[in-house]
Structure 1
């Protein structure tokens, strides 16, 4: 697909501030915006935020865009409405006022999260625009998992949000104000297309353009030689205040890491992420060979230096951006089936997949024992990412679904 005409204009409503792009959802959102900008699309980007934004920095990061902050409402009343909190905390009132002061000039509106889809529907209703919703996961299922893994008042709150979200998803699936829904995950698309009268399609994630252009050896032998020269370093990347990530770490460190250390006593495990929950650092300190790196400016250097990346997710939906980021650097990935869901990659070729702790540890040790095999997996994963996640092709798919036939 060639560059899009400068006359193409979108209103994009994101979920939250996307700078710094230091976590999976933020990385994917920022990568989409920069891809659209590079394609010549001009955007008004509406950003729900609790805090003031450095508008100049945002507009510099996404050339050709106009960025507008929409205030968030995290007051108790946002919890006490029939709407899901994630909708009520992003109220429509500030959106209407913003559009009154800055009338949109647009061909379409894109809600770059189901959590902001109600705002996109309001824009579509007022301005009669086609409206695409980007779905990063099935939000109701995420909250059901949270409810089941919590207790007391928190579990009750999560369960209530789950039921509110189910109703909101039902409404979105049949809304005349939604033109189409673009699921990031193949499995989520298959789940949604049987429930929605609105057209749905699979749109893989956007990665930073630098990740798609990263250079590394294309020969397994050369990559293996580099791996042999370095340490045996495993890495986990993810937000460290997210229950599903903490669940994954506990499963890996409790069941897999001891077996890996028996066979590779000098191996180290780096946990890299932001906002560690209370007590996490002390808990990790109880394991030999484990290092915690928090709130780092970029995870790219950590991924490139790692021997392999582990993705031991036990629950959740969508696509794990952290696994794709590792693959983009030619770092081989060992994942659970849950962590590898979402894209049509080939287990055993593009990455290794194992369900039980013993099998997961064995897969990691296979790559530690055999640098050539590790390099083959890493290079195949990088080739998959470059082949399937081309920015121009992904932007083209969005255009096709927004343009009436």
Structure 2
């Protein structure tokens, strides 16, 4: 029987952040189709502790602690003319394990999750290579280079340039490359050089609508009170999330509190930076840090917001809020790839005044807000279940022909 090698830049357990949610569901589905060998990098001891979870579904596994500090990785990358992203996720130990698996097991396909892991695929491998870029990382660094301060702008520009070159070479090496939305796929294709086009497809994110079900979750007691609650969820050391909550706390909440003086803004997510923690108490802002479960916070929200100015791919936080039947206030960037309709499945706005206006309209009409939340849940149940989203995976890794 043919077997699959699965490479991920982070251990796909627990599925508690955007990249891990996607990689976890992909891995589980592949494990149902063929024996799978998993190589992954660990950010910390908590990641290393997930080896038991991997052992339950993987034929073999190798987890390596990513120990090189980012400054050292940057120096190594500068010295070798490589993107920092590659140097930061490079491991000789993991490469040796990959080579051993390919030499000793009947690997017919390699599934690579995240562009940084493409460096582990040997050029002589002749089986299928499915490259899940998820989104166009080089475009993200281009955006950082336009808004960041010196000298980081120069570093971001360098990263964008080198990463763009690496992404194209990787896509041309792969059998198929995947992106999380048709918008990301189109963006990537528009950046390719030459007339020949590699096989590039969209494979969206899904949502577990049984887990994210408002009928099974009680609201967080911290949100009880006289005023309305607006909630943001996400990894709070991620620069686009930091920018989003700073904008909302500083510029949108004062406008909302003119009409609702007791309104609160809850920032829910792990690893808040000092800049995020400093928002606590400002214009009704609460910074929770890590919570064991985001669902009670979503269930207790009058509005869930994702006012992202820079966003790549489909936002899991948006799908989760929609599945919980909450009215969701989004910027156009955060709505990319969702596929719903403004004013029916969510509310779109971008400038602070417009965001405040849409929020106040929802708060002024609870029936309309409830109707929007109901329509949002119906949409994700019908369109965004993981079983439906991952239907093409069998053919992509070649398991279809094995099963025939």
TM range (shorter): 0.7 to 0.9
TM (normalized to structure 1)?
A: 0.85
The alpha-carbon distance between structure 1 residues 215 and 301, as it changes in their structure 2 partners (threshold 3 A), is closer
Alignment partner, residue 151 of structure 2? 153
Distance 1:106 1:8 in 2: 6
Give runs of aligned pairs for residues 191-270 of structure 1, distance below 5 A: 191-196=187-192, 197-208=197-208, 210-211=210-211, 214=213, 216=215, 232-270=228-266
Structure 1 residue 228: Cα displacement: 12
Structure 1 residue 110: Cα displacement: 1.0
Alignment partner, residue 129 of structure 1? 127
Structure 1 residue 317: Cα displacement: 1.8
Distance 1:374 1:65 in 2: 48
The alpha-carbon distance between structure 1 residues 277 and 79, as it changes in their structure 2 partners (threshold 3 A), is farther
Alignment partner, residue 83 of structure 1? 82
With 188-197 and 376-385 compared, the bigger mean Cα shift is at 188-197
Q: In the alignment, is the contact (CA less than 8 A) between 1:320 and 1:340 conserved in 2?
A: yes
Q: Is 2:387 the partner of 1:392?
A: yes
Give runs of aligned pairs for residues 158-197 of structure 1, distance below 5 A: 158-175=156-173, 178-196=174-192, 197=197
Distance 1:402 1:195 in 2: 26
Q: In the alignment, is the contact (CA less than 8 A) between 2:4 and 2:35 conserved in 1?
A: yes
Please tell me the root mean square deviation across aligned C-alpha atoms, in Å. Answer: 2.8
The match for 1:347 among 342, 347, 350 is 342
Alignment partner, residue 361 of structure 2? 366
Q: In the alignment, is the contact (CA less than 8 A) between 2:226 and 2:262 conserved in 1?
A: no
User: Structure 1 stretches of 5 or more lacking a match?
Assistant: 1-6, 218-226
Structure 1 residue 329: Cα displacement: 1.2
The alpha-carbon distance between structure 1 residues 216 and 209, as it changes in their structure 2 partners (threshold 3 A), is closer
Structure 1 residue 58: Cα displacement: 2.8
Structure 1 residue 332: Cα displacement: 1.6
Structure 1 residue 372: Cα displacement: 1.7
- Following TM superposition, where does structure 1 have runs of at least 4 consecutive aligned residues deviating by more than 6 angstroms? 227-230
The alpha-carbon distance between structure 1 residues 100 and 144, as it changes in their structure 2 partners (threshold 3 A), is closer
Distance 1:91 1:367 in 2: 48
Q: Deviations over 1:152-174 (max 9, x none)?
A: 33332222211111211221232
Distance 2:94 2:225 in 1: 55
Q: Is 2:7 the partner of 1:13?
A: yes
Structure 1 residue 13: Cα displacement: 0.8
The SS at the match of 1:261 is helix
Distance 2:153 2:190 in 1: 29
Alignment partner, residue 60 of structure 2? 66
Alignment partner, residue 109 of structure 2? 108
Distance 2:21 2:127 in 1: 27
Structure 1 residue 366: Cα displacement: 1.8
Distance 2:42 2:57 in 1: 21
Q: How many residues align?
A: 382
Distance 1:382 1:343 in 2: 12
Distance 1:133 1:185 in 2: 14
Structure 1 residue 272: Cα displacement: 0.7
Structure 1 residue 114: Cα displacement: 1.6
Give runs of aligned pairs for residues 277-296 of structure 1, distance below 5 A: 277-285=273-281, 287-296=282-291
Q: Is 2:27 the partner of 1:33?
A: yes
